[in-house]
Amino acid sequence: MNNSIKKPKYKVGDYVRISREKQIFEKGYTWNWSEEIFKIVQVIPHAVPVYRLEDLHKDSIEGTFYEMELQKVTKPEAFKIAYIVRSKGTKGKRQHLVHWRGYPKKSRSWIFDKDLV
């Protein structure tokens, strides 16, 4: 029996997506990975390393993840908007509460008109 510890593929600070299981009637062309991006906060060395994650709001994600469940990504400069929840303000100082595509409700945020792309 070989008790060697495998070198981790990812390191603390890397950004990743999590694999997602397709639902029973989902087609093959749908996403295999979460749209939400997470950050690795701990690498736990074992024969097969596992990882602890947090979301971009620094909330811990429950459980640990194997390498094959993670896909390394670069943190994007811009995020895609799913829809605008509501707007407020006057012309020139108008803000929108946006729901980001692939992210939970807690990730909604207010952005100015000028920051919409």
Residue 68 and residue 20 in one domain:
yes
In a domain, 9, yes or no: no
Query: How many Cα atoms within 13 Å fall on the side-chain side of residue 20?
Result: 16
Q: pLDDT tens, 46-55? A: 888 999 999 9
User: Total domain count for the chain?
Assistant: 2
Whether 61 and 22 share a structural domain:
yes
93, part of any domain? yes
8 domain residue, yes or no: no
Average pLDDT over residues 72-97: 88
Does 44 reside within a domain?
yes
Residue 116 has pLDDT above 60, yes or no: yes
- Mean pLDDT of the region 19-24: 68
Domain that holds residue 111: 81-115
Q: How confident is the model at residue 27 (pLDDT cuts 50, 70, 90)?
A: low
Looking at the whole model, is its pTM more than 0.85? Answer: no
